[in-house]
Copies of this chain bind each other. A is one copy, B any other.
Amino acid sequence: MSTSDRLIESTRELLWERGYVGTSPKAIQQRADAGQGSMYHHFGGKQDLALAAIERTAQEMRATAAKSFDGGGSAYARIEAYLRRERDVLRGCPIGRLTMDPDVIASDALRAPVDDTIDWLREQLAGIAEEGKEQGEFAPSLDAEEIAATIVATVQGGYVLARASGSPAAFDAGVRGLLSLLAPAA
């Protein structure tokens, strides 16, 4: 792995663990085993490096989510696959957590990939929910976009519950609750 790659990976980890405000260039360099000069040679500064890291994480998240969606089966089955996919629950969502970071929200450049990713996720789920309505799995009275927002929110909020309690159990409970509400009246 190149120095540049190591710096990006090190930044990705630190952003996930400590957020943008809690991450210093020094900590990034140490974890990447790179010197000061090295970092400033490859990147313009903390923000520039963070942007590269966030974009890579966003890309990875889309790829992972897409796998759940492409699994086939009913709309309910695909939503269930997404909700139940393996997660490192206590670490939280590497993209979602950035929304609580004041410096990320204050910067259009840093917020853009976060916004795009979450938006993409909602669109994917809205498409699936719409199919579910067409197939008669979900009531016609439901709004696919709203259901998609509820699904994404349940996941993001599930991380909050889990981290508050220090256990993944609350995340799982929230997911099961949502699935029971979505379940086609078989």
Contacts and interface: CB of A to CB of B under 8 A. Distances in A.
Can you tell how many copies of this chain the complex includes? Answer: 2
Interface string A147-175: 11111111111111101111000110111
Given A146-B173, A157-B153, A141 B18 contact: no
Contacts of A147: 177, 180-181
B174 A99 contact: no
Contacts of A164: 96, 99, 111, 114-115, 118-119
A127 interface: no
Nearest to A119: B165
A137 interface: no
Interface string A88-125: 00001000110111110100000100110011001000
A142 interface: yes
A13 interface: no
Interface residues of A, number: 55
A99 B156 CA distance: 12
A55 interface: no
Nearest to A178: B150
A21 interface: yes
Interface of A: 17-19, 21-22, 92, 96-97, 99-103, 105, 111, 114-115, 118-119, 122, 141-143, 145-161, 163-166, 170-171, 173-178, 180-182
Given A96-B160, A97-B100, 9 more contacts: A21-B22, A99-B164, A115-B166, A119-B164, A147-B177, A150-B181, A152-B161, A156-B161, A178-B181
Report, nearest first, the 7 A-B pairs whose CB atoms are least far apart. A153-B157, A157-B157, A156-B157, A150-B177, A146-B177, A153-B174, A149-B173
